[in-house]
Amino acid sequence: MLLGRIFTQRISCIRRTQLSYLQIRLSCHFGSTSAISNEAKVDSEEDFAYADVPRPGPTWQRKPYPTPMKVLIRRAKEEKKARQENPCRVLEHAPENGLLVPDLIEVAHQVYNARESLLHGLSKLVDGEEAIPVKKCRFCTEVHIGQLGHEIRSCEGPKCGSRSSNHVWGRGGIRDVVGFPYCYHLYDRVGKPRVGHKERFGVKRLPAIVELCIQAGLHLEDYPTKRRTKPVYSIEGRIVDFEPEEDKNAFTGNNFDSAREVLPIILDGDRLDVAGTISELSARTLQSWLDMRSGATKLMKKYTVITCGYCPEVQVGPKGHKVRMCKATKHQFRAGLHAWQEATIDDLIRPNYVWHVRDLDGPPLANELKRYYGKAPAIVELCVQAGAPVPKEYRSMMRLDVVPPDHDEYDLVA
């Protein structure tokens, strides 16, 4: 019996070694072909990558952090250690030291000009003679681009259960196509970065994208801001400014002459009125929107933009305001204060996704076929319906290569 067991164990060990050797030879033989197939698969995925619309999380949950929490904790520890080693130091890097970033002054002007061009084009596309119809639900924030509103049951407004979640469509406007959240204007973003609750009625509010451009170097007479010639000091974490008062007054009047020479602000309507067809106007409007988003992304890498983790409030500056106006989840535990965190480009410029319509004159979108329909930002859908080419980054999201079945065929499709 003992010899039999030893013999069977020996045979099984030999078989395992032979199988492992055979697997190694097969992997070496077919390794190159599998690598080639993997590379071809990656290339095909890059060419035909499907990107779905990001779904918003539940209202009772906090927004995801763009930067991981471990990275934020490590940065805070490094800053604390630097303050302990050198309590009194001069801040060297802009814009933390109160100075402007020279390379981003022109970008700020380009973003502001792109926003002006975008609003001008939207006024023609939404309210002009050849306007594209824009529909908005009366009970929720749903927006639709087309002659007839869609029949997809996605309404979450008041008494939506009595309507089987069907939308009640009305006429929409420019604010429904693209959204610019408002924030408080900061005269001194380094010396006084917060707005108190009692100061909420004495501080002007303006679109956050305009405030970002102002802090990056844009000059607007209605929104004065403080410009510095010397960096500020950090004494035990507190910002101290030793710049003389006469230098401040002298610099405030001529702080933006050089920036105006870099790129003038386009405010004249005659310069925006360019003759052309509706398709050319839509193409220019769509390009302005893409330029504005790309420029704002560059500015956000240097200038801090924060948002509330539970509501859509946005503030441009190193710190959030202290106005008790949050009415989202768990606001009672925060006494109405916002739960500030890092913002994304979608928080600064809301895309407002809508369903893509292949034919404006066709039948409305059916609820049974919603899995075959694509989505796109409202401004992209509006410009595409007006004749603009589809941008590459939104082709997969709009599902242009998907052919939806007919109403009598959807139950036959797997």
Please give the pLDDT value at position 93.
84
Give SS3 for 207: strand
Does the structure show a pLDDT above 50 at 266?
no
Give DSSP secondary structure letters for 265-293: ----HHHH-----HHHHHHHHHHHHHHHH
414 pLDDT band (50/70/90 cuts)? Answer: low
**Residue 286 and residue 391 in contact, taking contact as beta carbons nearer than 8 Å:** yes
Closest CA to 215 of 56, 79, 96, 72: 96
* Most distant pair of Cα atoms in the chain: their distance: 105
Amino acid at 33: T
233-235 and 143-145 strand pairing: unpaired
Which parts of 48-159 fold into alpha helices (H)? Answer: 69-85, 102-127
**Residue 179 and residue 350 in contact, taking contact as beta carbons nearer than 8 Å:** yes
Written as six digits, the tokens of 210 are 């305009």
Please give the pLDDT value at position 262.
42
CA distances from 56 to 49, 63, 64, 312, 331 (A): 21, 9, 10, 12, 19
Does the structure show a pLDDT above 80 at 44?
no
**Residue 385 and residue 135 in contact, taking contact as beta carbons nearer than 8 Å:** no
**For the chain, how big is the Rg over CA atoms in Å?**
29
Min mean pLDDT across 195-199, 250-254, 339-343 is at 250-254
- Tens of pLDDT along 136-154? 999 999 999 988 899 999 9
375-377 and 353-355 strand pairing: antiparallel
Please give the pLDDT value at position 274.
52
Please give the pLDDT value at position 51.
64
What is the rounded end-to-end Cα distance, in angstroms, of the chain? 59
- Tens of pLDDT along 300-321? 999 999 999 999 999 999 999 9
Please give the pLDDT value at position 21.
44
400 pLDDT band (50/70/90 cuts)? Answer: confident
Look at the chain and count its residues.
414
Mean pLDDT of the 204-213 span: 95
Please give the pLDDT value at position 255.
42
- Tens of pLDDT along 75-95? 999 988 988 888 888 888 889
| CB neighbourhood size of 410 (10 A) | 14
Give SS3 for 184: strand
For 181: left if phi > 0, alpha if psi spans -120 to 50, otherwise beta; the answer is beta
Does the structure show a pLDDT above 90 at 260?
no
Q: What is the mean pLDDT of the chain?
A: 81
Amino acid at 143: V
Written as six digits, the tokens of 348 are 């600064």
Q: Compute the distance between CA of residue 263 and CA of residue 400 in angstroms, rounded to an integer.
A: 39
Please give the pLDDT value at position 244.
62
